[in-house]
Amino acid sequence: MNDRLQRIRSRLEEALAPLEIRLDDESHLHAGHAGAASGAGHYRVHLVSAQFEGRNRLARHRLVYDCLQDMMQTDIHALTINAFAPSELSKDSR
């Protein structure tokens, strides 16, 4: 895992204590895109965290962006977020 992915993962784990986390670098899918030219990456994150319980999608996304705020200015051009509370997922869907 590259350094940037590890920093993203570490921040999310520290702040949100996810029960499940998947982080994918999709930068290669955006080669030639203006954001790719600056060196910032495109990422997709799937999180399951008790911190999301009782929060709507916007509030969940804000929690994630708060963790990565400074990286959004320098390292992350685009971030796709799939954020779930544990009660929203059955054991079979994980």
24 token code pair = 């994918």
What are the structural domains of the chain? 18-87 (3.30.300.90)
pLDDT at 89: 87
The per-residue pLDDT for range 32-56, each reduced to its tens digit, is: 666 555 667 899 999 999 999 999 9
pLDDT at 23: 97
Nearest to 60 by CA among 42, 46, 40: 46
Name the pTM for this structure: 0.83
22 token code pair = 């998947």
To the nearest whole percent, how much of the chain has pLDDT over 90? 72
DSSP string covering 15-77, please? HH--SEEEEEE-GGGGTTSHHHHTT-EEEEEEEE-GGGTT--HHHHHHHHHHHHHHHHHHTEE
The predicted model gives 71-86 an average pLDDT of: 94
